[in-house]
Structure 1
C-alpha cells in the first residue's frame, strides 16, 4: 500500500485507487499491460502507455552554452546539453515512434549501465529496441500555449530513463523537456563530434559522489546552470528561433506551444536537488517536485551533516513537493535538509511518501525492472532494492498521480 508519511497516514486518494484498479483490470493503456518480449537479440522491454487525451510528439535538441567550459572535462571548450521535448501533437499520422534511446546510447548503456546500477543484467536485453509512445517530429498542437516542465534525472542516469513520466505529463497537456547532464549521466550521445569527447560520452562517476564533497558540489552547480541554460534556449524557441546547435529542423509549431510564463521542474535524486535549488535561484520556475533528492551539500566528514543549500536554509516562496519512499536506503540522510525546507517555507512546501517502493521507482525502472525479473534476468532482491515490491500496476500510477496532481494545481494547462 502507498501512504503518506507517519504524520499524515492517509491512503492515496480514491481517484488514484480507482485508476490503479482500472489498470489492474488490464486496460490497454496501463502499466499492467507492459510486458517484455524475447527475440534473438534479447529481451525487449516495454514502457507503459500515457493515459492523457493527447497523442504526443518528441524532438531531441542539441544545445551548446558557449559561455561555459565543461566543468567535468577540461578538454571540452563549451558546455553541451542534450534534451528531448515531449509535447501534445496535432497529428501523429505517418510519424515513426521515437526510440527510448538512440542506437549509440543504447549500446553504451548495455555495456556500462551496470556501473550505476549493478543490479541490472550484464547481457540479455536489447536496450535499443524499446520504443516510446511519442512520434518523432510530429507537428505540435499549438491551439494554445502550454506550461513547460523541465526534468533532471538522478545522478548517473540518462534523461531517457524519465521517458514514461514525461510522456504521461505531455499527454495531459504539458510540454516536458528532459535534460541530460553530460559527464554525469551514464551515457549521452551527441549528433556531432567535438574536441575532447567521443560521440557517446560516458559518465565520470566511479563512486557515490556524496562521498566526495567537491565533486558533489560541482555536479549540482553544473546541473543548476544546465537547467537555467535550457530554459534560456526554450525562450529562444518560443520566440521563433531554432535553438538546436546543429541546425536540425524542428517539429512544426513547436515554439508556439510553449508558455514560458508557466514553468515548473521536477527531478529525481541529484536531479531533485538541482531543480529545487534552481527554483530558488531562478524566478522563472514557478513550482518544483523533488523526487528524493538531498537538499544539503555532501558532508565533509563521514557521518556528518552537510551545509544546507540556500533553499533549505531559507525556504521557498513557491510550491514545492518533496516525494520520497519508505525503501530509500538513506532515508536518514534526508532528515537534515527536508525538515529544514518545510520549516522555513511557510506552508509552500509539503512532503509525501510512497510505501513498498524504493529509490528508482520514480523512473522508468519502476516498469522495466519487474519485466527483467519476470524474464529471469533480475532477482527479487535486486528488484526490491531498486524499485520496491509494489506492483508496477500500483507504483507507476501512484508516481504519475502525484506529479499530475501537483502541477495541475499549481501550473494548470487551462
Structure 2
C-alpha cells in the first residue's frame, strides 16, 4: 500500500458511481479449513491484533421525532457496540449474522454482487466474530468511533475493522440504516432493503439525508447507551465506507462533537463541503474501483491525509476483503468476481494497511 496526494481524473457516469455506493464492505484473509459440517467452506474473519479481548452488545434505538422515510412509523436503528473487555471467560463469541439475517443475506448477496455464491452454497450463519457477547467492559473512559456502512450493506460487514479498533482500546458503534441496509433484524421484525438497483438521484439524496440524521441521533444518544460509562464523549470520531463515508463527512460538517472523520471511498458531490472542513480528515480510496476517478474528483481540494490502496477494489474495506478470497480458494468465486469486488492484492496486506491507516489516524487526532 502506498500513500500519496491524488490527482483529479475524469468523472465516471452517475450510474457507475451510484452502483458503487450501493454496497460497501472490507477486511482480510485467514486460512480456510474445510467445513466438517458439509455446508460449504468454513469461513473465518481475521482476528483483531490489539492487546485487549473484545466485548460486544447489540442495542435497539427509536427516534420518536422522525418518521421512517421508507416505511413510515417511528424511525428505528440497530447498533452493535464493540469495546475492550475486562474478561471474556464464560462468554461466547457472537455470530456475524443471526440465523434469520443469514438466510436473507444468502439470497441477497449474489443479486447485489453477481459472482458471489448462490443460496445454499455457504452457511453464512456459521461465521463467527471475535466479539464476546455481554462480556464486561474494561474500566476507563475511551474514545468513541461511530461507523456507517456502505449503501445496501448491513453494519455486520464492518465487523473486522471495528473489532481491531476496539481491541486497541476504543469503543466502536456500528450503525445499521434500515431501509437501505440489505437486512436488519429489529425487535419489531425483519427489515430488508428497498434498493433494487442503482438509486435514482432523489432516492440517493433521501438515503444520504437519512443516514446523516441517523448518525447525529446516535451521537445524541451515546450518553444513554449501556456502555456510556466507558465512553469519552469528548473524543468522538466518525468513519464510513462508500455511502457511509459520504454520510460521515456530511454529518460531521456542522457537528462540533465530532473530532475526526475517516472516509473510505465515499463520494462527496451531493452537498458543498467547505474547503476549510475544520476537522482532521482521512480520505482513502482503491486503485481498482471503477468509480474511483469520480470519488477522487468529488474530494476536490479538501485538506487531509489521502491514501491509495494498491491491488484493491471498493469492497476490500469490508469483511468481503477477507471472505471473498476464501470463497475463491474454495472454488465458489471466480477470479473475475474477486478482482471486481476486492482486487487482486494480498488480502492480509490490504487488511493490515486499512487497520494501520484508520487506527493511527484516530489515535493521532482523538488523544
TM-score by length of 1: 0.81
For the structure 1 residues 259 and 213, does the alpha-carbon distance in structure 2 shift closer, same or farther, using more than 3 Å as the test? same
Equivalent residue, structure 2, for 1:200 = 190
Residue of structure 2 aligned with 1:368, choices 283, 308, 323? 323
Q: Is the 8 A contact 2:30 2:45 kept in 1?
A: no
**1:352 & 1:92 partners in 2: Cα distance?**
35
**1:135 & 1:161 partners in 2: Cα distance?**
17
The correspondence of residues 323-338 of structure 1 with structure 2, limited to 5 A, is: 323-338=284-299
Query: Cα distance, 1:31 vs. partner?
Result: 5.3
**1:168 & 1:37 partners in 2: Cα distance?**
26
**1:89 & 1:6 partners in 2: Cα distance?**
38
**1:81 & 1:99 partners in 2: Cα distance?**
19
Residue of structure 2 aligned with 1:59, choices 53, 57, 60? 57
Residue of structure 2 aligned with 1:226, choices 189, 192, 214? 214
For the structure 1 residues 267 and 32, does the alpha-carbon distance in structure 2 shift closer, same or farther, using more than 3 Å as the test? closer
Q: Is the 8 A contact 1:115 1:206 kept in 2?
A: no
Deviation sequence 1:155-209 (CA, Å, 0-9, x none) = 101100000000000000000000000011111011x22xxxxx22110111112
The correspondence of residues 376-387 of structure 1 with structure 2, limited to 5 A, is: 376-387=331-342
**1:43 & 1:401 partners in 2: Cα distance?**
29
Deviation sequence 1:68-89 (CA, Å, 0-9, x none) = 0101123xx1000001000000
The correspondence of residues 10-409 of structure 1 with structure 2, limited to 5 A, is: 33-38=30-35, 39-74=37-72, 77-123=73-119, 124-142=121-139, 144-190=140-186, 192-193=187-188, 199-209=189-199, 212-237=200-225, 250=226, 254-297=227-270, 309-311=271-273, 313-342=274-303, 349-409=304-364
Secondary structure class of the residue paired with 1:336: helix
- Gapped regions of structure 2 (runs ≥ 5): 8-26
TM-score by length of 2: 0.91
For the structure 1 residues 390 and 152, does the alpha-carbon distance in structure 2 shift closer, same or farther, using more than 3 Å as the test? same
**2:32 & 2:327 partners in 1: Cα distance?**
10
- Gapped regions of structure 1 (runs ≥ 5): 9-29, 194-198, 238-249, 298-308, 343-348
For the structure 1 residues 134 and 401, does the alpha-carbon distance in structure 2 shift closer, same or farther, using more than 3 Å as the test? same
Equivalent residue, structure 2, for 1:17 = none
**1:172 & 1:159 partners in 2: Cα distance?**
20
Deviation sequence 1:371-401 (CA, Å, 0-9, x none) = 0000000001100100001111211101111
**1:4 & 1:65 partners in 2: Cα distance?**
40
Q: Is the 8 A contact 1:326 1:358 kept in 2?
A: yes
- How many residues align? The count is 346
User: Which one has a bigger Cα radius of gyration?
Assistant: 1
Q: Which has the higher contact order (CA 8 A, sep 6+)?
A: 2
Q: Which runs of 4+ in 1 moved over 3 A?
A: 5-8, 30-34
**2:61 & 2:54 partners in 1: Cα distance?**
22
Query: Cα distance, 1:335 vs. partner?
Result: 3.7
**1:178 & 1:6 partners in 2: Cα distance?**
29
